[in-house]
Amino acid sequence: MTSGAVAVDGGDLPLGGGLLAIVRPALTLLEEGGVLAILSRSRSAGDDLASWCRAERHEYLGSERLADRTIRHLVRRGKFGVQRTEVDRDPPARAEAATGFAPHGSVVEAGGPVYPFDLVERDRVIAPEVQELYEQAIAAQWSASRDIPWNSIAALEPSLELAVRQVMNFLAENELSALYVPSRFIARLHPAYVSVAMFLATQMQDESRHIDVFLRRANATTSLPAISSATTSRSLHSLLEVDDFTESAFLLSVLGEGTFLDLLTYVERFAPDEATAELARRARVDEARHVHFGLAHVRHALAHDETLYPRLEAAVRRRAATLAGIAGVPAPVQDALTIYAAGGSDPARVRRGHDAFRELLATMHEGRLRRLRHAGFTDEQAATISDLHTPNFM
């Protein structure tokens, strides 16, 4: 933007026939008091420009005739209207709700409404890695119909059939929460931090695909229903009650989806067919990206808010309180994971399946400790939070 003079050539365009499309943008480059020179061969331009300037509160300074029927008109910019200025390409430390859906860097005309965005502080919203994670997510999209070898599924013995359905139903139920929880925050994110909203949209697309493949696999070979436990329902309901974005990302993506990485590894390891192994593998790759986002977000937030750790621990404790008196993994899930790893109900194999399930719980605990330390927690803090994590896994 300049406070001096700018010149434009309007040719023989009349004011209402295209000249304004040249004049108005040029005026936005000037500060108040700057002068725009308009070269025109339109005979009516002088009178029309003078009238237009009065209406728009600019000042028409008159004209002078040049060679070749060209007239130079001078307009001094008034103090009202939009002015273009150089802007910082980086997201602002705090975004203004009145800028609405205007992309960051736009010059926002006064007089628009105030939008209901309340996630408006950069250091509480956006981590440096989020754009890279978004690009990874876009490149890694896959198809439930095309990329899973569904024809590899064959009939299994009844106990294993039911265990597969129970496990897949449990996975889908938890992934439904992972679909719905991020959706609550997208409408609250200021568009200055749209990269976060865009990543959350890919996360929701991932979860939609996971729900699809888990339910397809659940329904592939048996009509007997799975059981949805009250423990699972109470645990997932508590996620919907969290109103703070960072607390939600921590509970869902760092703790819940982090724990699910180990569960999906287990599902892949003991899969009874290629389709089950492949859908677990692909879901795990997606979930690893979600966990990376959660870790990056929490690590960034911890570095900028020394009060955050006690808030996160308090959030975990509140959630644990909703499941007070529940000693462990829901029985239908525990039994199904045991039979799943055993490959059936033969007692000798069930013993090995039980050992595999106990090993899974230990692996989950160690994985949570590792991720929490990576996020910036001390060993003691990590142990406290991991011990309090829900027995429902997510």
Strand order in the sheet with 5-9: 5-9, 35-40, 71-76, 59-65
pLDDT in 10s for each residue of the chain, 394 residues:
455 678 999 999 999 999 999 999 999 999 999 999 999 999 999 999 999 999 999 999 999 999 888 999 999 999 888 887 776 678 899 999 889 998 887 888 888 899 999 999 999 999 999 999 999 999 999 999 999 999 999 999 999 999 999 999 999 999 999 999 999 999 999 999 999 999 999 999 999 999 999 999 999 988 889 999 999 999 999 999 999 999 999 999 999 999 999 999 999 999 999 999 999 999 999 999 999 999 999 999 999 998 999 999 999 999 999 888 887 899 999 999 999 999 999 999 999 999 999 999 999 999 999 999 999 999 999 999 999 999 999 9
The pLDDT value recorded for residue 103 is 87
Residues in CB range of 323: below 8 A, 6 or more apart? 231, 234, 235, 238, 390, 391, 392
Rounded to whole angstroms, the Cα distance separating 224 from 159 reads 11
Q: Length of the chain in residues, anyone? A: 394
The pLDDT value recorded for residue 96 is 92
**What are the distances in angstroms from CA 212 to CA 175, 180, 223, 241, 270?**
10, 15, 17, 25, 21
- Report yes or no: 3 and 34 within 8 Å, Cβ to Cβ: yes
Phi-psi sector, 134: left (phi>0), alpha (psi -120 to 50), beta: alpha
The pLDDT value recorded for residue 2 is 54
Token pair of 176, please?
């439904």
Residues in CB range of 358: below 8 A, 6 or more apart? none
Rounded to whole angstroms, the Cα distance separating 197 from 214 reads 26
Give the pTM: 0.87
- Phi, psi (deg, nearest 5) at residue 5: -120, 150
The pLDDT value recorded for residue 104 is 83
CB neighbourhood size of 125 (10 A):
25
Token pair of 151, please?
């024809």
The pLDDT value recorded for residue 67 is 83
The pLDDT value recorded for residue 4 is 61
The pLDDT value recorded for residue 3 is 53
The pLDDT value recorded for residue 87 is 67
Which of 118, 131, 134 minimizes the C-alpha distance to 90? 131
Provide the greatest CA pair distance for the chain: 104
CB neighbourhood size of 94 (10 A):
12
Q: Can you tell me whether residue 38 is helix, strand or coil?
A: strand
Rounded to whole angstroms, the Cα distance separating 156 from 162 reads 9
